[in-house]
Structure 1
Amino acid sequence: MEEPFEKPLSGETFQALSDLVYQHSRIRLGADKRALVANRLRRRLRALALGSFEEYCRVLHSPHGVDEIEELVDLISINHTRFYREPEHFAFLTQRALPALVRPLAAKHAPLRLWSAASSSGEEPYTMAIVVAEFLRAHAGVAWEIMATDISHRVLAEAREGIYSMASVKPVPLELLKRYFQKGVGARDGVCRVKPELRRHLRFERVNLFQEHLPVPADQHVIFCRNVMIYFDPPSRALAVQRLARHLAPGGYLVVGHSESLLGIPHGLQPLQQGVFQKT
């Protein structure tokens, strides 16, 4: 049994940790997140044999602290996601985006490129992949790839595995579940895995949206960046949107979360419906 970690996280140390997280991820932690940060860091402090949050801060500021800062950002990242979240966006993909994109690309023998820019544990990019694969069953074929990126190593490892509980895949229609997932047996009973023929279309990489160079091919036809910008302050939100817009191909689509507004951000994109914008 783990011994209780009694040392509290002081307001001053929480602010120092928050500042580091912001500098490296642009995620702004409000004072209401203090208990959450303390809870998530306690196990890490035990693993490093540290006796206080202040000692941990000294490690982060040491010459070898860069890797630990990545670990910190990973630990406090908030990853709420599910299959077919905000289904209107996937309906838009099927009904408007893919019909407009696929035929011209097929005529040019050019690939279709999609990017899930805050992919978390993979539910979003795999849903995108199912939608694309289903559309291409009945339409002219093109080569396609989904780039799935996140700042968290931990959730990317989960996403690469593509293994989900049966409860997690409940939003996936039964016919599609049978087509694109393998049900576990024996020790794997109660889980299922995305089939290799779908997984091969996805590439997972750790990317910080604010790093100097984004290792993502330009001219993306569809970019999903949903429910992450709510954690950014206005200047960071504007910078993220402008960087994403630069990675869109002409005629490409940017999709953000229903609760995310681009009001007041100069981006040059045409609004089409809630959370959907097009580069004209």
Structure 2
Amino acid sequence: MGAEFLKKQAELTDKQFLKIADFIQNNVGIKMPEQKKLMVQSRLQSRLKALGMESFDDYIAYAFSTGSHSDEEIALMIDVITTNLTSFFREKQHFDSMMTTILPEFAKNGFSKIDIWSAACSSGQEPYTLSIVMSEYFRTHPGAFSDFSILATDISSRMLEKAENAVYTMDDVEDLPFDMKKRYFLKSKDEAAQQVRVKPEIRKKVRFERLNFMDSSYPIETDKHIIFCRNALIYFDKPTQEAVIRKLIEHLIPGGYLFLGHSETIFGMNLPLRNVGPTMFRKEIER
């Protein structure tokens, strides 16, 4: 009887969903259309269970009240709701362009250290891929650059923790060439675990920080040569997308490159960017 009561009370009403959806869009910038209601309900069930609550009314009152517990719960809510999907060398043409065009160009122009930003880095595959790409370029073009660094940011504390651990399943690296896996990953000694970990020399080049795209400005200390912000803007409306990109490229050097996801575009936006490849843009150099 108790289980049936909990199941009945834990259904998310339209009104409750709209309150949560409005909050997510206003504070995180992610649109939550009505068809996402069941997904939100399912994902927040874990929070109700953890807090011992029997209804979403109780949960919403708790999450949106004042106090330190509310700030913590809001962060957990965002972690649970936001979708995190990534893989090593996702949209491989972008990394190929780095190797064949962008890095040789930077080397020719006399850049010494290359600074890269992986925005919306999720569970870490993208920034570690970038670290591998840079390491491969250093290995095959000795002396081209003196150093590189990668900043990786995400709104999800849970994803950042996973990314910093740098532990992945064998399936996650299944499609990588054997020599690359051997060079950049450590296989778990526990055969049953079927896990790998990114090697220390790749991990140490990546620094993780939490960042919310909806903040008025981004506390980025060093302007970047390359920024990856892929498959995150699709959750935002057009004005928010443009505002986020504008804040991102404030930290991109003139002539630097911005990569977006395969379904994202800057069409119709007034931005100092020039399309130079599939969802690859170059910041205009002021004359």
- Separation of aligned partners in 2, 1:180 and 1:188: 21
Q: Which of 244, 250, 273 is the matching residue for 1:246?
A: 250
1:20 matched to 2:26? The reply is no
**1:188 to partner: Cα distance:** 6.4
Q: Tell me what 2:47 maps to.
A: 44
1:112-134 deviations in Å (ceiling 9; x for gaps): 10000010001111111111110
**1:103 to partner: Cα distance:** 4.4
**1:152 to partner: Cα distance:** 0.5
1:267 matched to 2:271? The reply is yes
1:6 and 1:183, CA in 2 relative to 1: closer, same or farther beyond 3 A?
same
1:77 matched to 2:82? The reply is yes
Q: Percent identity?
A: 38
* Amino acid across the alignment from 2:78: V
Alignment of 1:79-98 (within 5 A): 79-98=84-103
Q: Tell me what 2:225 maps to.
A: 221
* Amino acid across the alignment from 1:154: R
Q: Tell me what 1:33 maps to.
A: 36
**RMSD (Å), alpha carbons:** 1.5
* Amino acid across the alignment from 1:54: D
* Amino acid across the alignment from 2:42: N
Q: Tell me what 1:117 maps to.
A: 119
1:158-214 deviations in Å (ceiling 9; x for gaps): 110111101011132111110000011126641110000110000011111121331
The range that moved more, 88-97 or 214-223, is 214-223
Alignment of 1:202-221 (within 5 A): 202-221=206-225
The range that moved more, 216-225 or 254-263, is 216-225
- Separation of aligned partners in 2, 1:126 and 1:6: 44
1:99 matched to 2:101? The reply is no
Q: Does structure 1 retain, via aligned residues, the 8 Å contact 2:114–2:145?
A: no
Q: Which of 49, 56, 60 is the matching residue for 1:57?
A: 60
Q: Does structure 2 retain, via aligned residues, the 8 Å contact 1:182–1:195?
A: yes
Q: Does structure 1 retain, via aligned residues, the 8 Å contact 2:43–2:80?
A: yes
1:278 and 1:188, CA in 2 relative to 1: closer, same or farther beyond 3 A?
farther
1:63 and 1:187, CA in 2 relative to 1: closer, same or farther beyond 3 A?
farther
**1:46 to partner: Cα distance:** 1.5
Q: Tell me what 1:131 maps to.
A: 133
Q: Does structure 2 retain, via aligned residues, the 8 Å contact 1:149–1:206?
A: yes
The normalised TM-score by structure 1 is 0.94
- Separation of aligned partners in 1, 2:198 and 2:168: 8
- Separation of aligned partners in 1, 2:8 and 2:186: 45
* Amino acid across the alignment from 1:100: E
1:164 matched to 2:168? The reply is yes
Aligned residues: 276
- Separation of aligned partners in 2, 1:246 and 1:113: 14
- Separation of aligned partners in 1, 2:232 and 2:192: 32
Q: Which of 233, 239, 256 is the matching residue for 1:235?
A: 239
The normalised TM-score by structure 2 is 0.92
Which runs of 5 or more residues in structure 2 are unaligned?
A: none
- Separation of aligned partners in 2, 1:105 and 1:147: 22
* Amino acid across the alignment from 1:98: L
- Separation of aligned partners in 1, 2:233 and 2:95: 19
Instruction: Please state whether the residue corresponding to 2:186 is helix, strand or coil.
Output: strand
Q: Does structure 1 retain, via aligned residues, the 8 Å contact 2:29–2:213?
A: no
- Separation of aligned partners in 2, 1:249 and 1:213: 17
1:184 matched to 2:188? The reply is yes
Which runs of 5 or more residues in structure 1 are unaligned?
A: none
